[in-house]
Amino acid sequence: MVPIILASIDWKSTIFAVVGGIGIFLFGINVMSDSLKKIAGSKLKLFVEKTTNTPFKGILVGILLTALIQSSAATSALVVGLVSAGLMTLPQAVGVIFGANIGTTTSSILISLNIGNYSLPIIFVGAILIFFVKRKKVQYFGRVLLGFGMLFFGLNLMGGALEELSTLPQFLNFLQSLGDKPLLGLLVGVLTTAVIQSSSATIGILQQIYSTGTMSLIGATSIVLGDNIGTTVTSVMAASGGSLSAKKTALVHVLFNTIGAILFFIFIKPYTNFIIWISTLLRIDYLNSKFTISLVHVFFNIGTVLILFWFVKQIVWLVNKIIPAKDDIISDDVILDKLLLKSAPDLALENAKKAIVDMGNVTKGMLEYAYRFSFENNEKAYKLAFQSEEILNSLDVKIHNYLVEIGSKDLNKRQMLRVAKDIDTITDLERIGDHLENIIEFFEERKTQKLELNQDAEQEFKHLFEIVRAQLENSLESYFTNNQQLAKAVEEQEFELNKLVKKYRNNHIMRIRDNNKENGTSYYVDILSNLERIGDHTHNIAENVLSEKFSHRVKAIK
C-alpha cells in the first residue's frame, strides 16, 4: 500500500509548491510590514514616546503598533532603539513587548480568513496602485495590498501541497504522534521558527496542516508554544552585537515568551480542553479550523500577559541582575543603535541626537578639565582632559558614520537637513576639543619652562573661559531644544568675545611695551586665538538653529 501512495505523489511539484509557497508567504508579509511602517512614518516615534508612561499603556501601544505594522520583530527593534536612545525606560519597554506579543496574533487571525481565492485580484489592485499612481502614500498602500495578496497566494500554494503530503502514512503518523509527545511538538516549533526567522510563517504553515484534519489540537498547541520560544531567537541575534539596553530588552522578550510557554505547556491538556470548549461554543472548528489555531495563539499571549503583568518590577530586577550595568564613561555601543536604521529614520535621528548630547557633555567636561589644569594645576584634570579628547575623536567618527547611514535612506527634505546639521555640529564639537587640547599643551609648556603668567593676563583668560563656557552651554542647549532665543544670545556672546579678544591682545602688547616683563608672548597669543576659535565653533552650532538652509555637507552625504 505504501509504495502505491508514494508513487501517486509528484514529489518535485509538491516540494516546489511547499518551499515556493513559504517563500512567497514570507516575502508578502515582509512587503506588507515594510509598507505599513512607511505609511506610519515619523508618527511612530511620537506615538510610542508619548503613550508609554505606564506598563498598561505600554501594552496597549505594543498591541496597536504590532497590529499596525504586522511585525513583532519590528516593534521589538523599535523598542530596543528607543531604550538605547534614552527615549524609553526598561519598565516602559517591558509593557510594549508584552503588548507586541498580543499584537502579533493578528497575523494568525488574518491568515485564518478564507480569502485565498481572492489573492490574485488583490495582487492586481496593488500592482495598479504601485505603477499607475504617483502619490507616495497611495503607492505604499498598493504595496500593502500586494504583500497581503502574496501572503494568501503563498498559503494557497503551500496548502494544496501539504494536503497531498498528509496522505502519506509516514507524515500522518508523525503529525498524530505529536499529540502523544507534546515535548517533540514544542521542539519542532522552536526549531522551525528559529530556522525560518518568522513566527507568523510557522503559525501559517501550522494552520494549513491543522486544517487537513491530520493533527490533534494538543500537537498543534505544543508547536504554537515552541514557536513563541523560537521567535525570541530573532531578537537575541539582533541584540547580540548591540548595546547593553538592546541586550536587556531582548532578554525581556526571551523571559516573557519562555516563562509563558513553560506555564502553558505544564497545563497543556486543560488549556486545549478550554480551546475545544470555546471552539465548540462558537462552532469555530466546524466553520474554520484555522481559526482554532488563532485562538490557541491569542489566548496563550493574553494569558501570559495577565499572569506576568503583575511582575514587571521583578522582571526588570531579574534582567538587571543577569545583565548588570557597566561603568564605561561613554561608548558608541551604548549610544548608537543600528537596529533603528531599519525601523524608522526619525527614530534613528533621535538616537543620533542623544549621541550628540553625550558628545556635547564630554566637550563641556573637557572645557572644565582644561580650566582646572590651566589655573589650578590639577594633574587629574590633565589626564581626564586627554581622555575626553580621545572620546571626542572616537564619537566624531562613529556618529558621523551613523548619520551618513541615515542619510543613505529614503529621507524627506526635513530629515536630510537634520542629518546635515547634525554632521556640522559633531564636527564643531570635535574641533572645540582640538582647540582645548592646544590650550592645555600651551599651559603645560609654560609650566615646563617655568614661565609665570601675569596676574592681569590670568584674569583675562579666566574671563574669556567664562564667556566660552556660557557660549558652549547656550549653543548646545539651543541646538538640542531648538531654542532660537538662546541661539541669538550666543551670537551676542560671540560679538562680545571677539571685542574682548581684540582688547586683551592690545593689553598684552601694552604690557610688553610698558615693562617688558611679559614672558612667553607667543603662548599668550596662541591661547587667545584658540579661545577665539572655540567661540567661533559654538557660534556655528547656534547658527544651525537659526538657519533653515542646507549645509554644503548634504551633497557629500548623498
User: What's the pLDDT tens digit per position in 23-44?
Assistant: 888 788 778 767 776 766 555 5
For residues 416-440, average pLDDT: 91
Residue 285 has a pLDDT of 58
Residue 55 has a pLDDT of 73
Pairwise CA distance, residues 354 & 108, whole Å: 37
Three-point CA angle 365, 382, 503, nearest 5°: 75
DSSP 414-427: HHHHHHHHHHHHHH
Instruction: Label residues 284-297 b or e (16+ Cβ within 10 Å = b).
Output: bbeebbbbbbbbbb
Pairwise CA distance, residues 418 & 329, whole Å: 27
Pairwise CA distance, residues 234 & 232, whole Å: 5
pLDDT, tens digit (0-9, with 9 covering 90-100), for 367-416: 999 888 888 878 888 888 888 888 888 888 888 998 898 888 777 788 88
Residue 60 has a pLDDT of 85
Higher-confidence position of 91 and 10: 91
* Res. 210: pLDDT tops 90: no
User: Where does the pLDDT of residue 19 fall: very low under 50, low under 70, confident under 90, or very high at 90 and above?
Assistant: confident
Instruction: Give the dihedral sign, CA 179/184/187/189.
Output: negative
Q: Is 366 helix (H, G, I), strand (E, B) or coil?
A: helix
Instruction: Report CA 278 to chain centroid distance, whole Å.
Output: 39
Residue 233 has a pLDDT of 80
Assigned superfamily of 332-557:
Phosphate transport system protein phou homolog 2; domain 2 (1.20.58.220)
Residue 554 has a pLDDT of 45
Residue 6 has a pLDDT of 47
Pairwise CA distance, residues 304 & 298, whole Å: 10
CA-nearest of 369, 114, 93, 355 to 245 is 93
Pairwise CA distance, residues 534 & 476, whole Å: 13
For residues 114-129, average pLDDT: 85
Decide if 341 contacts 409 (C-beta within 8 A): yes
* Res. 453: pLDDT tops 60: yes
Decide if 52 contacts 61 (C-beta within 8 A): yes
Residue 248 has a pLDDT of 84
Out of 90-104, 160-174, 267-281, 442-456, the most confident range is 267-281
* Res. 53: pLDDT tops 80: no
pLDDT, tens digit (0-9, with 9 covering 90-100), for 126-151: 999 999 888 888 888 899 889 888 88
Residue 300 has a pLDDT of 94
Pairwise CA distance, residues 59 & 97, whole Å: 7
**The model scores a pTM over 0.75:** no
Instruction: Give the dihedral sign, CA 69/74/76/78.
Output: negative
CA-nearest of 70, 50, 63, 67 to 96 is 63
Q: List the grid coordinates of 407.
A: 542619510
Decide if 280 contacts 295 (C-beta within 8 A): no
Decide if 230 contacts 191 (C-beta within 8 A): yes
Instruction: Report CA 58 to chain centroid distance, whole Å.
Output: 16
Cell numbers 503588548 correspond to 99
Pairwise CA distance, residues 22 & 281, whole Å: 33
CA-nearest of 406, 347, 349, 403 to 41 is 347
pLDDT, tens digit (0-9, with 9 covering 90-100), for 314-352: 888 898 888 886 544 444 444 566 666 666 677 788 878
Mean pLDDT is lowest, of 128-132, 159-163, 413-417, 462-466, for: 159-163
* Res. 465: pLDDT tops 70: yes
Three-point CA angle 60, 65, 68, nearest 5°: 125
Measured from the Cβ of residue 331, the count of other Cβ atoms closer than 10 Å reads 16
Residue range(s) of every CATH 1.20.58.220 domain in the chain: 332-557
DSSP 353-369: HHHHHHHHHHHHHHHHH
Decide if 393 contacts 429 (C-beta within 8 A): no
